[in-house]
A and B are shown apart, each in its own frame.
Chain A
Amino acid sequence: MTTANSSLRSRSRYVAYLVPVAAVVVALLIGAIMLLLLDASPIEGFREMIKGAFGSADALTSTALKATPLLFVGVGITIAFRANVINIGGEGQMVAGGLLGTTVALVLPDWPAVIMLPAVLIAGMVGGAIWGAIPGALKAYYGVNEILSTIMLNVVAVQLMNYLLRGPLIDPGEIERGTRIPQTERLQEGADLPLLFGSGRLHIGPFIAVAVAVAAYILLWRTPIGYRVRAVGQSTDAAQYAGIPVKRTIVLAMTLAGAMGGLAGAVLVFGSESHRMVTDGSTAGFTGSAGFNGIVAALFGGLHPLWTIPASFLFGGLLVGGNALQRAVQVPTPLVLALNGIVVVFVVATDRYRRLLRERASQAETAAQLASQAESNDDGAGEAAGGGVPPPIPPPPGSPPPKDEATP
């Protein structure tokens, strides 16, 4: 009885982990068919993709750099999602963060890196936080759906960027020469993200992103704030009843998510090859659509900050590999975009199935535990938290002061 249950348990859990991977494999198979139809060899294509994403130190650097904004945005998504808020304003938040960081670097005198670097990164976070707090407040206090306000704020952000970069923030040299490229001058060196391992490109950005993901994990599961966020996400009524300030918590979750987006924007500016902010007139020109792709990474990581780390690197690799594929096999770039879409659809569409398997695993686990307890044997200790199902809410370390929140 026990062995049957435990084998069912491990198999279900095993399969649950495989589901998103299988979804990606199927999506890539469709990609292979499309490559064949485009007169390109899928084997060569995928070889070039993997080589371009993971095949050399340089490729790995590209992948890490591509993954960085995805991870920042993805971590923000996991925080907001725990409070049951869907933040699809990552694009606008990245732009806002990049702009405020850039402005600070331009306005402040050339101070040493120990001051400048934190200053510009914090400025980026603040910029993004503002862009996240607005839809958060609109949702909490006015009931405006966050999906819509963030879409509209993305439009506002791109126009703001185009105004600032062709007006107040433009490189004076561009005016002098009459070339009028909408970009800033090279920003002060103190604000450059330091390079690592003697590499020409690999900066500390990816490491900041990983650290931030870990910090988000701690915040969500080891602090009173995280407890409140998750409580609000599970049930606003219950949270309210427990004395949690629901509205403020929603604003806070969106502000944090925005701050992550803003940090992504600042890292893009200060870690870019050009060390300046440039616009081609669109958000994607600056963000590379990381505001959207970060959502995918977070979802692929089961909306858990730690699992979002490998998920971001995988998706970063897919994007970098896709570009390498275009260069090597000369297939049009839209193919990669379409493939990304298929991957997202497959991963999301199978997500419910994965959760079902996990639930089944947990049930089997509980049954096994009960059975083993009956045999006074505790082989079925719960596994570490991870994946789609949030672990049960632990009691708050510091009990939050009960605050009453006015009902609408």
Chain B
Amino acid sequence: MRSKKWSWVALVFAVALIAAACGDDDSSTTTSPDAPATTAASGGTETTAAAAEALRIAVVSPSSETDLAFTQSIVDAVNVIAAERGIPEENIDVTENMFNIDDAAAALRDYASQGFDLVIAHGSQYGGSLEEIAPDFPDVSFAWGTAADTKGLDNVFAYEAASDEGGYVLGVMAAALTESNIIGVVGPIEVGDAKLYVDGFVAGAEANNSGATVRVVYTDSFSDVALASEAAQAHVAAGADAMSGTAQMVVGAVSVANDEGVLWFGTQANQSSLGDIVVASQVYKWEVILRDILDNIDNGVLGGEIYVVDLENGGEVIEFNDAYDLPADVRQLAEDTIAGIIDGSISTGG
């Protein structure tokens, strides 16, 4: 019977823990400087009157909005646009972690039926579902990315990133900075945007330094952080002194780079916060195309166009980490490469 008494103690303790854990965030949200809500809110306060007629935008995305990668890039962009246009916070809705494709389809349909003006399906795997949903809501504009076609629908915009371009630039930099002439890349599964970026990175590295060996390993998982970490260790063991990688599980690899003092090149969002070894990141500025999309919607055009963010239109930016002391000549090389890609004199091979 002693065990029974203890079981009650344990239960009360557990409830207290849950309460304490959840309660803590009340204090931390106010102090946390990077709470995503604040950007949208500051835009909203000045134009509350416009709330009624302002556009309503919804985002459905597969991972967490603070993943330092794919989902964060679109949420940041929507917040930028909202601030620019004075769209109040309550008109912006984000459904994150919709990795299940049927759940995502249900969310898209729900937002469309609630009368959102723009519903962003931020995952290439959502395309098949969108093809069925969009025709049912001809008055709603959908944006689908990353994708290269609108499936012939006139209320769907498609958007993608020429991630091979940024990858190429980062590859050139890595090849210039490596001393061991061995560069490692950690990828998730060899598909879509990840493959595009990796291929661009490899092309850039090999073009700039024919003596360099670039090794690519796909861990076959978007979520296995430990495996990404070990993949990075494997690269380091093989002599790599510069690495890159894509998708949300690479935080494990960046952590290894930090320990081993290996240079890191990031993509999808600015990863400088992960350490001084982050040389530069390719960042997607989806707001560049969101502006066009919203202008189109204002003019009654709900879809049919395909957008690509690239270095030329400023939708893709190489952000250098101030904490890393980048040699001036490599910085210049990077700028030249960017210029070369923009004017067409350099081909990324992608």
Contact = CB atoms under 8 A, between A and B. Distances in A.
A and B interact physically? yes
B22 A284 contact: no
Contacts of A182: 125, 189, 191-192
B129 A273 contact: yes
A2 to B, nearest CB: 35
B23 A37 contact: yes
Interface in A344-403: none
Nearest to A326: B95
B189 A281 contact: yes
A275 B189 contact: no
Interface string A271-308: 01111101111101111110000000000000000000
Nearest to B194: A180
Interface in B52-90: 62
Contact of B125 (A65, A183, A289): A183
A282 B222 CA distance: 8
Contacts of B189: 162, 166, 182, 281
Contacts of B99: 280, 282, 284-285
Contacts of B62: 280, 285
Nearest to A328: B93
Contacts of B190: 166, 180
Interface in B98-128: 99-103, 105-107, 109-111, 113, 123-125, 127-128
23 contacts: A33-B22, A34-B18, A66-B102, A162-B189, A166-B189, A177-B149, A179-B160, A180-B190, A180-B192, A181-B192, A186-B128, A186-B131, A272-B105, A273-B128, A274-B101, A278-B128, A281-B188, A281-B223, A288-B103, A323-B103, A326-B95, A327-B107, A330-B93
B26 A273 contact: no
Contact of A179 (B15, B103, B109, B192): B192
Nearest to B58: A327
Interface string A179-191: 1111100100000
Contact of A181 (B22, B124, B131): B124
B237 interface: no
A159 interface: yes
A7 interface: no
Contacts of B94: 330
Contacts of A272: 101-102, 105, 128-129
B103 A275 contact: no
Contacts of B132: 273-275
Contact of B128 (A65, A162, A276, A286): A276
Nearest to A163: B220
Given A182-B191, A273-B128, A281-B221, A288 B100 contact: yes
Pairs of residues from A and B, 3 with the lowest C-beta to C-beta distance, nearest first: A274-B128, A37-B22, A273-B129
A274 B22 contact: no
A320 interface: yes
B195 interface: yes
Contact of A30 (B18, B97, B129, B147): B18
Nearest to B136: A200
Contacts of A180: 190-192, 195
Interface in A145-190: 159, 162, 166, 177-183, 186
A31 B104 CA distance: 23
A30 B125 contact: no
A201 B146 CA distance: 25
A204 B215 CA distance: 49
Nearest to B129: A273
A235 interface: no
Given A274-B105, A280-B99, A39 B26 contact: yes
Given A327-B110, A330-B93, 6 more contacts: A58-B113, A62-B106, A281-B189, A285-B101, A332-B96, A333-B97
A320 B129 contact: no
A408 interface: no
B125 A320 contact: no
B125 A181 contact: yes
B19 interface: yes
Contact of A282 (B102, B109, B192, B223): B223
Contacts of B101: 272, 274, 278, 280, 285-286
A34 B22 CA distance: 7
A320 B192 contact: no
Given A37-B25, A281-B188, A282-B99, A327 B111 contact: yes
Interface in B181-199: 188-192, 195-196
Contact of B220 (A30, A159, A181, A186): A159
Nearest to B22: A37
B148 interface: yes
Contacts of B148: 177-179
A44 B99 CA distance: 26
Contact of A278 (B97, B110, B125): B125
Contacts of A201: 109
A333 B125 CA distance: 20
A268 interface: yes
B227 interface: no
Nearest to A167: B190
A314 B95 CA distance: 23
A179 B164 CA distance: 12
B133 A273 contact: yes
Given A180-B195, A181-B191, A33 B220 contact: no
Nearest to B127: A181
Contacts of A109: none
A209 to B, nearest CB: 15
Interface in A227-278: 268, 272-276, 278
Contacts of B131: 186, 274
Interface string B328-350: 00000000000000000000001
B100 to A, nearest CB: 4
